[in-house]
Structure 1
Amino acid sequence: MLKEFKDFIMKGNVLELAVAVIIAGAFGAIVTSFTNDVLMPPIGQALGGVDFTDLKIALAADEVAADGTVTEGAAIRYGMFIQKVVDFLIIAFILFMIVRTYNKATAKQEVEAAPAPDPGPSEKDILLQIRDLLKK
């Protein structure tokens, strides 16, 4: 069982998947930063100084304790949802571009690697064969 596990772990697909997950996590952080710090502030400013992280529908009031600490009440934070949707769209578009480029590159290699099909006899050759058979 240990040998099977070792063989499983050492397969290329598992290692590639592990690398992909790590890179995806780092890429997700970059996209989140891009969305929160670069993309959404100008959009919020264009919409009249809106900070999307503050957009919410309060379901319960915030509670203030005697020592001054504030506990947020329940709320629907649709501003955060908008930011997550933008994050998703950016990541999905970039992945689409990567897959599209990969597919184009592999399609060209397959076309180049495939040998040309045998054209077979031409129409003229077939007609000559028929004529020769008719003569016999």
Structure 2
Amino acid sequence: MGLLKEFKEFAVKGNVIDLAVGVIIGGAFGKIVSSFVNDVVMPPIGLLVGGVDFKDLQLVLKEETVDAAGEAVAAVTLNYGMFIQNVVDFIIIAFVIFLAIKGINRMNRKKEAEAAPPPPPPGPTPTEKLLEEIRDLLKKQ
């Protein structure tokens, strides 16, 4: 029974819930970025390089053949176009996350600067205290 209680405490902690929310939002964000890359970024780039759809770029290692039973054996291809597509996805996602973290850090620094009270003025040094005492003694005379 203790193990179940420990698991419940672990699962309900804020960090686990935050992580779950982050994973869900990250998955949705990944779909948005993939759509942005596939539908907005790559078509103009493909047009600039001669109307090429990067997803279709591939190197055929072995042509499609028909085996002895008459069934088609699929071609073996090296799909470097999909790799280029995924690299562009990654670069855009990494850049957006970089900008988001940079913005969050800037906001945190501003909050810390506002929240931190100014340091108290330094007290008098021992020499200043001695001089004050001398001054007070001279006033008394």
User: TM-score normalised to the size of structure 2?
Assistant: 0.81
CA–CA distance in 2 between the matches of 1:25 and 1:8?
23
- What's the counterpart of residue 43 of structure 1? 45
Give the 3-state SS of the residue equivalent to 2:34 in structure 1.
Answer: helix
- Deviation for aligned residue 1:56: 1.2
CA apart distance, 1:30? 1.1
Distance, in Å, in 2 between the alignment partners of 1:132 and 1:106 is: 43
What is the Cα-based RMSD across aligned positions, in Å? 2.3
- CA separation of 1:63/1:95 partners in 2, compared to 1, >3 Å: closer, same or farther? same
| 1:121 CA drift (Å) | 3.9
Counterpart for residue 33 of structure 1:
35
Distance in 2 between the 1:83 and 1:55 partners?
Answer: 10
1:1-136 paired onto structure 2 within 5 Å: 1-63=3-65, 66=70, 71-121=73-123, 128-131=128-131
SS state at 2:32 partner: helix
Identity among equivalent positions (%) equals 49
Aligned to 2:62, what secondary structure does the other structure show? Answer: coil
Question: Structure 2, unaligned stretches of length 5 or more?
Answer: none
Moved over 2 A (4+): 63-67, 125-136
C-alpha deviation, 1:127, in angstroms: 5.9
Give the unaligned 5+ runs of structure 1: none
Give TM-score scaled by structure 1 length: 0.84
